[in-house]
Amino acid sequence: MDISRETFKDSDGDTRELILFDSIADIANSVEKICGNCDTRHEKVDEKIDKVSRQNKYLSGGGGILGGMLSAIGLKFLG
């Protein structure tokens, strides 16, 4: 799994960290690791999906397809 991180300043001047996944499979693997390693998996997965979804909206200027895919991945793991 190849994940890179970049920091940037948003329009408000706040520093943000952007996590770049190479593929949807990498996102699913990352979510699966969270699910397997914590007691509050539902909250952690929701936080992860929300964070990546918000980053996608910021970059794409709208909802984007990634947000929908992340929701589907989250539903699979939350079952």
Q: What per-residue confidence (pLDDT) applies to 63?
A: 47
Closest CA to 46 of 64, 65, 24, 54: 54
Q: What per-residue confidence (pLDDT) applies to 79?
A: 44
Q: What per-residue confidence (pLDDT) applies to 61?
A: 45
Distance between first and last Cα of the chain: 24
d(CA 36, CA 27): 14
Residues linked to residue 6 through DSSP beta bridges, in sequence order = 18
Closest CA to 74 of 37, 30, 39: 30
Which residue do the tokens 């539902």 mark? Answer: 42
Q: If the chain, 79 residues long, is cut into consecutive pieces of 10 residues, what is the mean pLDDT of each piece?
A: 74 81 69 55 64 60 54 52
